[in-house]
């Protein structure tokens, strides 16, 4: 008599990994909540990069001025003061640039965000 056996092994961990890999390759459709989140993040983070770059450049200019003041790069106090003031001025411009870019992005994105939020809240 031939005995037929059935061998079955199941691993929830492997099945989960298979589903995750499969989902990476399926075409994704962005739902409205995800669109709303993306627009909100875009409006809140507008201007951060430009303000950061301006602040870092100003800090570097200020640092070079300090090097002149401490006589590391040269012995000119006038250059040290000029570079220090220039660097401080550039650093001071970072926040107004951030505010203006953020305000402009909010003005542009507000109608879409409000329309989408109203549509989602009515559903």
The pLDDT score that the predictor gives to residue 25 is 87
The pLDDT score that the predictor gives to residue 10 is 67
Maximum alpha-carbon separation in the chain: 104
Provide Rg for the chain, Cα atoms: 29
Q: Is the pLDDT of residue 101 over 70?
A: yes
Task: Compute φ and ψ for 22, nearest 5 degrees.
Answer: -60, -40
Q: Report the alpha-carbon distance of residue 114 to residue 96 in Å, rounded.
A: 26
The pLDDT score that the predictor gives to residue 1 is 60
Q: Report the alpha-carbon distance of residue 81 to residue 84 in Å, rounded.
A: 5
The pLDDT score that the predictor gives to residue 68 is 93
* pLDDT tens profile 3-45: 777 676 667 888 888 888 888 888 877 788 888 999 999 998 9
* pLDDT tens profile 61-92: 999 999 999 998 888 899 999 999 999 999 99
pTM of the model: 0.67
Chain Cα centroid distance, residue 10: 41
Nearest to 62 by CA among 84, 77, 91: 84
Does residue 65 contact residue 80 with C-beta atoms inside 8 Å? yes
Position 95 confidence tier, pLDDT thresholds 50, 70, 90:
very high
Q: Nearest 5°: CA angle at 89, between 60 and 91?
A: 50
Does residue 109 contact residue 66 with C-beta atoms inside 8 Å? no
């Amino acid at each position: 008599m031939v005995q037929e056996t059935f061998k079955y092994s199941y691993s929830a961990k492997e099945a989960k990994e298979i589903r995750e890999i499969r989902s990476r390759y399926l075409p994704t459709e962005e739902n409205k909540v995800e669109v709303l989140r993306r627009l909100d993040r875009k409006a809140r983070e507008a201007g951060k990069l430009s303000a950061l770059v301006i602040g870092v450049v100003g800090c570097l200019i200020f640092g070079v001025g300090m090097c002149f003041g401490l006589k590391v790069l040269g012995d000119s106090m006038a250059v040290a003061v000029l570079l220090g003031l220039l660097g401080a001025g550039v650093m001071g411009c970072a926040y107004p640039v951030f505010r203006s870019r953020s305000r402009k992005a909010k003005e542009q994105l507000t109608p879409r965000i409000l329309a989408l939020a109203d549509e989602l809240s009515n559903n």
